[in-house]
Amino acid sequence: MKTVTVVVVVILALAGCSTTRTAHTQEPTLPVLPAYASPNPAANRSYFEAIVKANPMEKYAWYNLGVIAQGSDPKTAAVDYLRAIAIDPRLEAALYDYGMLRLRANDVNGAITYLRRAVAENPRDANALWNLGLAYARMDGRGADVAARRYLNQALVIDPTLRSALGTTTTVPSSKKL
């Protein structure tokens, strides 16, 4: 899940810590950030709001504000993701999550735009490829159907476990009934 990876990067960057490895475990040691570890979204939001107030160009803080808001307030999440993208137009996690917000809002063209950008940043991201294929599957026209199959099949090559979403089919069917 993209959120976990970015959160770890943000935690390390914001805490000013580096990972340390022991000879036995080879696992990074992460600092404890009580505000972000809180089950209280308001506390988590306050934590990252303080960061962007001190440094409005902190893309990961804007991104995490989007992550925190996406379940309860998609409009705020969209603004936060777009701020992160404005700071770093290549921030794959923000491109992907904003594209998914657009897909959930039935803005297929917007979803395709941002999911394509996410795939351009990481062509091996099976989830981005899969959801880009699903976005194309919602469009009309032969070209959209071809694009849907292409992206869905690329995702299946990278992550065959996605096949379970299609049942026992080994490749994406040619009909739009996905």
pLDDT tens digits, one per residue of 85-104: 999 999 999 999 999 999 99
Q: Which residue has the tokens 């990876």?
A: 5
> Average of pLDDT values for 16-42?
45
Instruction: Say how many domains are in the chain.
Output: 2
Query: Is the pTM value of this prediction over 0.85?
Result: no
Q: Do 77 and 106 lie in a common domain? A: no
Label residue 25 left, alpha or beta by phi (over 0 means left) and psi (-120 to 50 means alpha): alpha
- Structural domain span for residue 125: 101-178
**What is the model's pLDDT at position 28?**
36
In a domain, 96, yes or no: no
Residues 55 and 115 in one domain: no
What number is the average pLDDT over the span 143-149? Answer: 92
Residues 139 and 160 reside in one and the same domain: yes
| CATH number, domain with residue 165 | 1.25.40.10
**76 lies in the same domain as 129:** no
Q: Work out the burial of residue 161: count CB atoms within 10 Å of its CB; fewer than 13 is exposed, 13-18 middle, 19 or more buried.
A: exposed
Q: Are residues 34 and 76 in the same domain?
A: yes
- Note whether 80 and 105 are same-domain residues: no
pLDDT over threshold 50, residue 158: yes
**pLDDT(22) > 90:** no
Closest-CA residue to 62 (of 30, 89, 39, 40)? 89
Per the CB < 8 A criterion, the answer to whether 96 and 127 are in contact is yes
Average pLDDT for the chain: 79
